Amino acid sequence: MGARSLKLLVVEDDADVVLVIRRVLERDGHVVTAAESAEAGLAALKAGSFDAVLLDNGLPGAMGIKALTEFVAATQAPVVMMTGHPNEDVEKDALLLGAKALVAKPFEPGVVEALLLKLVGEG
């Protein structure tokens, strides 16, 4: 593995999605911290530093898109939105609010890993 190990924050309330992301990314040497709400994700950002953030749009409490600006303001790391309901409006809003990319679920974790490595300058 030529790329360095990344510290990733995954903000996702679906335990199955977290499990798949964690399995693939940790197998490749990355460190994954999971949070199941926007509030828990923001608390994790305040408690530690991350190389990138995967933020789901469909979260309990504050929707990801509504919390996106808080995530962008709380970290220098690239924030990538995930959504199970992709459309042009969601993508446009996410990019305007500071997300570096929008990923439609279900997705291939290897594709997301390549995107994250590219965003942090490792790919």
Tell me the per-residue pLDDT of 86-121, one tens digit each, with 9 for 90 and over: 889 989 999 999 999 999 988 887 888 899 999 998
19 occurs within a structural domain: yes
Is residue 1 one of the residues assigned to a domain?
no
DSSP state, 86? -
Q: Is the CB of residue 31 less than 8 Å from the CB of residue 44? A: no
Give which of 27, 23, 39, 33 is closest to 77, Cα–Cα: 33
* Domain harbouring 46, CATH code: 3.40.50.2300
**Against a cut of 0.85, is the pTM above it?**
yes
Q: CA-to-CA distance for 81 and 95, rounded, in angstroms?
A: 9
Q: Report the C-alpha gap between 86 and 70 in whole angstroms.
A: 21
Q: How many domains does the chain have?
A: 1
pLDDT the model gives residue 59: 87
Specify if 84 maps to a domain: yes
> Considering the domain boundaries, does residue 110 fall inside one?
yes
Q: In this predicted structure, what is the pLDDT of residue 108?
A: 82
Determine the Cα–Cα distance for residues 84 and 110; give it in Å rounded to an integer: 18
Within-domain flag for 73: yes
Domain residues for 21? 7-119
Domain membership flag for residue 2? no
Which residue is listed with tokens 């279900």?
Answer: 106
Q: CA–CA separation, 13 vs 67, rounded Å? A: 14
Within-domain flag for 36: yes
